[in-house]
Amino acid sequence: MANSPPFPRPLMVLGTSSGAGKSLMTAALCRVLRRRGETPLPFKGQNMSNNAWVDAEGGEMAYSQALQAWAAGLEPSCAMNPVLLKPQGDSTSEVIHLGQSVGTARAEHYYRDWFKPGWAAIRTGLEDLQRAHPGGRLVLEGAGSPVEVNLQSRDLTNLRLAQYLRAHCLLVADIERGGVFAQLVGTLALLRPVERPLIRGLLINRFRGRRELFDSGRSWLEQHTGVPVLGVMPWLDELFPPEDSLDLLERRGRKADAALEIVVLRLPSLSNFSDLDPLEAEPSVQLRWLQAGQPLGQPDAVIVPGSKQTLRDLAALGASGLAGELVRYAASGGQVLGICGGMQMLGVSLEDPEGLEGGRPGQAQGLGLLPLETAFAGTKALAQRRSLALWPDGEQALEIEGFELHRGRSQLQAPGACQPIAAAANLGWWQPFGDQGGLVAGTYLHGVFESGAWRRRWLNGLRQRKGLAPLPETVPHHSQQREALLDRLADAFEAHVTLEPLLR
């Protein structure tokens, strides 16, 4: 049995809905258990996300489980997320098992075709994780709601897993969404009798105002459900990584001290948006997420982020008119940076003979901002990378690091057509554009902004164009800031949540 001694009782964080805060509450729980001297083992059997991470062995996993691993003081491993579904439009998803792509599934056939292989991958992930960390405590995250009655018979990652491991479960509800009593009572009412004892506590998340204002509600819930309310988590002002792309819509606050405005194109098939978290955390930078139909304006820079369906997103840019605006912006002196699929779109041509990036075989003209030709193949580039940066200042080289996660292979139309951004081959290129001082660059390196000194040097180039004083480049890697955020999250969790009934 996966939970037999010497492993302590697994814990599981369930939610009344998607976006209830399961990912961050699981991360908080991992950090708190680590503080208590335990080895928490974050695990999400199945996740659906295009926000991915590549582990040290070249395995693909959801970024949220990587964040939980950092909270636990562990190196992320794809065993922590053995099944990853990456939506790619038309009700289809790429299926990742134990870090590797194993095919494509249509929504209506997923449970018919992928249930047994998925459960096998989950059991293997559990065994691998527990073998690597003897004595560790599994801290599981559920997915969506655990009581979707039309899916319960084929549940892979909620109550089936909780029963299999005899986990003690914490049920989280987001009071900010409204209807928190109906969320909790309704979820508990839909549990089967064998499942109800698994729920050992309730957690109210994202509460605004004084906690005592919810005292009567807390008492009512405990009287009507028989389940203790273990805590009321406050609304946290810190900017934590969003759980999915829908959360990006909530990032609309203006920064009083922002001196730079950077536009990020919110592509229909946006992926790896966590690349932008270090920029979001810069006090002097205002990110503006731009959707089709909104004016581009004259920002200090434009970032074209990663895409799960590069050809489709390129077509969407053309249909919306954003493609033409972007070219005119660069020609008039603007700076454009593409990341992964965003860089591929900036090239001159994209060939997709297997239909991997557009749903069907095809080819397309790129935006023509970089002299790159990209061809897509079935084998992904999956690797952590480290190199010296040759751009934006090759005379004072800085180290950059991140990971590659892409299918396409890009090459220059002619040697010397533009300059490499890094000493390592094929990580990206840059070139001046037009006669108004424009510049276009692209990189395959996800996470490039996490390198603090490099990020500040790039920002200082933008600041210099506006006559602003440079920012200090002696800043740490973004991972240190992420650690501080996780500590503040755990501090709040410890202050507002009682764990003993869950651990008992």
29 and 99 inside one domain: yes
46 and 170 inside one domain: yes
Domain contains 493: no
In the predicted structure, residue 239 carries a pLDDT above the cut 60:
no
17 and 128 inside one domain: yes
Cα–Cα distance for residue pair 282/303, rounded to 1 Å: 16
202 and 53 inside one domain: yes
Is the separation of the CB atoms in 460 and 44 below 8 Å? no
171 and 276 inside one domain: no
**254-305 pLDDT tens trace:** 787 899 999 999 999 999 999 999 999 999 999 999 998 899 999 999 999 9
* Residue where a domain stops, chosen among 172, 204, 239: 239
Domain contains 25: yes
Domain contains 314: yes
- Nearest partner of 490 among 277, 233, 209, judged by Cα: 233
In the predicted structure, residue 327 carries a pLDDT above the cut 60:
yes
Active site positions, annotated: 340, 446
Domain contains 101: yes
**153-196 pLDDT tens trace:** 888 999 999 999 999 999 999 999 899 999 999 999 999 999 99
Domain contains 360: yes
Tell me the whole-structure pTM to 2 decimals: 0.94
pLDDT category of residue 252 using cuts at 50, 70 and 90 = low
326 and 283 inside one domain: yes
Domain contains 491: no
Residues ≥6 apart with Cβ < 8 Å to 222: 228, 229
427 and 303 inside one domain: yes
In the predicted structure, residue 458 carries a pLDDT above the cut 60:
yes
Residues ≥6 apart with Cβ < 8 Å to 360: none
pLDDT category of residue 250 using cuts at 50, 70 and 90 = low
State the Cα angle at 361 between 357 and 366, rounded to 5°.
Answer: 60
Domain holding 326: CATH number?
3.40.50.880
228 and 292 inside one domain: no
In the predicted structure, residue 18 carries a pLDDT above the cut 80:
yes
Domain holding 18: CATH number?
3.40.50.300
pLDDT category of residue 242 using cuts at 50, 70 and 90 = low
Average pLDDT over residues 418-427: 95
129 and 264 inside one domain: no
Residue type, 229: V
148 and 55 inside one domain: yes
Domain that holds residue 35: 11-239
Residue 380 in tokens: 């992904």
User: How many domains is the chain built from?
Assistant: 2
Pairing of strands 270-271, 92-97: unpaired
Domain contains 494: no
- DSSP at 422: B
Q: What share of the chain is helix, strand, coil (3-state, %, to 5)?
A: 35, 30, 35
134 and 219 inside one domain: yes
Give DSSP secondary structure letters for 260-293.
EEEEEE--TTEE-GGGGHHHHT-TTEEEEEE-TT
286 and 186 inside one domain: no
